[in-house]
Structure formats: structure tokens, C-alpha cells
Structure 1
């Protein structure tokens, strides 16, 4: 993980978690305890209204007046928070297309960081959310996780209005406000998140050379692959892998190179509604 300005790393932790300590810096950068302490003092000197020391918890915390000092790359931060990896800054050697297109992510740092801070501190959030079906609505949610389907980022949260756990696309947040007085409903109550299922997929039978697609999955001498995932992520995974989930397996095999073999075991999983072909019979 590479930061030319270590104050940016401190600011990232305060923005997206609401707290940071010396060990956070030491674990990410090859520095000593004394250097980490100086970094906090340097940050505090530059942005005195952004942090305070919590002696009981032995960490610095964002103040109520906190304002992010940096504009952080949101997808990179979310990748770090969900996978503990960080895209390394480097000079591009020029192997790619000179005219690559990157789809704008549409996420707002203030709204996304409100969600990640809520997860880190076990809090609910009042949000304005633009749904494709319902338009703009106001609701109180209890986020407990962040996930991606490879294109969009989502938070998994309990929706007080619907009285169930749902997935909310982070780019559709229009406003956020901490709900400090609300008892938190967390991950342990989300059965679909903690319950694991097995997905069995294989190359589409309409392909003439299935060996090529087995190679895509790193399979040698195996006709299929079993993947363990949570119920809540099942539809996302099948969608990102472009798996034909129809009962007839008649979808275009060029667009959907794999088929779902144990569809009958997954029919009662709510996230399957977004699996390719599952609803079109």
C-alpha cells in the first residue's frame, strides 16, 4: 500500500471508519511507532477540527465537525475495506489500450462514508434513496456489509420500512444522516447473509469445446465447479459469472457460457431474482 502523503491515510480512516490509531498506520506502512505518532500530530496541526484523542479506546476519532480533507477514490477505498488490499500506485507500462473506458461509479464520498462509518460503529442511518421501482424514498437502514457485483457497489442493510434485509446500491444514495438513537440491527440477524449455500456450475452444453471454459475457471480434469457463498450473494455471483440459470438452459451460450446445475436447490433464495434467466420461464 503506497501513500505519498501519510496524512491522506489518516484522513481515509477517519472519513470511512470514523477512527484511527497508530497501529492502523504501522500495519499499512513500514514505519515505527514514533513516526506514526508524529503523523497524527502533523495531521492535527493541519486539520485541528477533524480529530480528537479518545484516551479510553486509545485511538483518534473524527469530531462532530469533521470534514474530509481529501477526495478519496471511493472504489479503491471500498476494495480496501472489503478485501484488505489496495490498488498499488504505479507507472503504467503501457500494455493496455490507450483508449480504455472506465464507467463512472456515481458514488458520493459523503454518503458512502456515512454508510461505512455506520458499519464500523454499529449505527443506523436515515437515507434518501432513489430506487428503480419506487423512485425517491426516505428510510432508516442498518448497514452491516459492503459488496460488489464487479460493476456496482452495494451495502447490505436492514430496512426498517420493509422489515427485512435488502441490498442498496451506493450510487443511489441521495442523502444520509446518522440515526444515533436507534438500536442497531446487525449482521447476526441477517440469516441470508450468514447462511451458506453451494452453487454448482459447468460450461454451457451448447459449446463445442467446453475445455476452454473449464480453463477459464482453472479446472483441469473436472467437469464442474462447486462454489460456496452466502444466500444473499448468490444472485450477484451468478450474474457476475454470466451463468444461465434458466430451467431450460436455452439462453445464448455465447453471452452466458456457464449453466447452473443445482437450480432446484436455490429456488427459494431471494437473491436469485437477479440471476440470469431465473425469472424468465
Structure 2
């Protein structure tokens, strides 16, 4: 057993969690500071300083301290101290950091979540997430169902779970517009040093910033409507859901919502009907 592994195993569980948090932030956010650690775990500055000393001793090539803002930044020689599962990391990125990061095998057998068949490869997920956090552009090799394998310059600003898979929302510099990329179809991703333009930022993505109000009712073809009304917490047989405009078509397809023939489906067995389909789909 190496000295590094032995020292790591001697650490208390709470301290391993904090080291895992440092590792996670470096890989997926690109930076981490003592204040980041304090805000998440409520520990004192002295404990945080000790955690960073231990982390740097265990992984001396992972981070460099920049004194102007007192953040540790990920180095190109970074090698994760912990193995981060892509599905779990995506959950943390969307819902916030959770406990059990350094010991991911602790789980119950009575609460079951669906297993994602499609997620960005872990080696690219870090690059995507860091690019978003640090406002960087990427050169990606992407496998497209319509145009095959292509190389594209993108400015990503969000990663979204749309039910069937995870997508990357980004500005495509070649097309000059915001579009979506299925995360699992990204073959490679390299960071670019080109300066970002204002028109490439998330704030310029009108469909991402905008929301659409979906008015839903149980489908008229259903013999019994009350089960569906209960499923979706309807009041007076109706519910209203706000969805980002850029994600509306994914939501309608995944939830199998009838739009009155505007969006066709090979399976016409719908549970829900979109009442205001003309208003929603003209966006």
C-alpha cells in the first residue's frame, strides 16, 4: 500500500467529504476557495486551510493558488482524487452538492431512480461544466444524425436533462445561433482562448431566458380522467406549467402531450392535451 493511500484512509469521513468537494469543484467548476468550503460545510478557516494542505499533498499537480482572488484553479495536469459518476455529478450540478461524495455506494434498496442510458462521457463533462462556469468556448467533435461527424466551435451556457438524454445548450459560432447538442454524442472537447462576445452569452439566448406557459388538461379521449388529474395535481381539471421556451418541444415529447396534431406522434395514446398549443408552439 502506498503512503498516499494509507494517509488518505486514515482521514475521518467528514474530512474525506471536504476533500471530495475540493476535487469536484476543481474538475467541474474549475476553481475552489476556502470560502467555498466554509459556505458548504460550515467549518472554520483553520480546518479549511488544513484540508487544502492535505489535498495538495495527496494530489500536488491538481491545483494552483492564484493570490489575486484566493482561489485554487484546476491545472492541466489534474487527475481526479475521487471517481465521479457522470449521472451523480449532473444531479449535483443541477440540485447542489450532496453528501456521500467520497463514498457513493451508500444507498437504500427501497427508493429507486431510473438509470440514465445517455449522459456526457465523464472526461468531457468536466470540460463542459468548467467552460460554462468560467465563460470559455470549446472546439468539439460532434456526431450529428443529419450531417455526420462535424467539428464545431461552441459557447456552452447550460446542461439540461430533457428526459431521454442530457443536452448541452450552446451558441454555435458556425451557424451564428443558439442550439442544442446531445451530450453523449460529443466525441471530444477542447478549450479555446478566443474572447466571448456578448451575443454568445446565456443572456442573449432569448428562448433560454424566456418561459412558456403550458395549460394542460386530461386528454378528452380518456374514459376516466380523475387518475391523470390526480397525477398532475390539477385544480378544476386543469394545471399550468411554466417551461423554458427552449425546452418546450422536449417536454411535450417526453411527457407525450397531445398538441392537437401540431406535433405528431407515432403513438396516439395520450394522457394530456395542451389547450393553448397555438400560443405555445408559435414560439
Please indicate the TM-score interval, normalised by the length of the shorter structure.
0.7 to 0.9
Shift of the 86–222 alpha-carbon distance from structure 1 to 2, 3 Å rule, reads farther
Matched residue, 2:92:
80
Q: Is structure 2 residue 118 aligned with structure 1 residue 105?
A: yes
Shift of the 227–92 alpha-carbon distance from structure 1 to 2, 3 Å rule, reads same
TM-fit CA distance, 1:157? 0.2
Specify which of 19, 22, 26 is matched with residue 34 of structure 2. Answer: 22
TM-score w.r.t. the length of structure 1 is 0.85
Matched residue, 1:192:
207
How many residues align? The count is 265
Shift of the 68–95 alpha-carbon distance from structure 1 to 2, 3 Å rule, reads closer
Matched residue, 2:256:
242
Shift of the 28–109 alpha-carbon distance from structure 1 to 2, 3 Å rule, reads same
Could you tell which deviates more after superposition, 258-267 or 136-145? 258-267
**Take 1:250 and 1:48, find their aligned partners in 2: how far apart are those partners?**
56
**Take 1:236 and 1:172, find their aligned partners in 2: how far apart are those partners?**
17
**Take 2:140 and 2:222, find their aligned partners in 1: how far apart are those partners?**
46
**Take 1:151 and 1:249, find their aligned partners in 2: how far apart are those partners?**
17
SS of equivalent residue, structure 1 residue 266 = helix
Matched residue, 1:118:
131
TM-fit CA distance, 1:216? 0.6
Matched residue, 2:72:
60
Pairs within 5 Å for 1:1-281:
4-84=16-96, 86=98, 91-95=106-110, 102-184=115-197, 185-219=200-234, 221-247=235-261, 255-269=269-283
Shift of the 210–96 alpha-carbon distance from structure 1 to 2, 3 Å rule, reads same
**Take 2:184 and 2:99, find their aligned partners in 1: how far apart are those partners?**
21
Matched residue, 1:273:
none
CA offset digits 1:55-76 (Å, max 9, x no partner):
1112111123223333211122
TM-score w.r.t. the length of structure 2 is 0.84
Please provide the CA RMSD for this pair.
2.6
**Take 2:20 and 2:256, find their aligned partners in 1: how far apart are those partners?**
38
SS of equivalent residue, structure 2 residue 212 = strand
TM-fit CA distance, 1:13? 0.5
Could you tell which deviates more after superposition, 254-263 or 208-217? 254-263
The gaps in structure 2 that reach 5 residues or longer are: 1-13
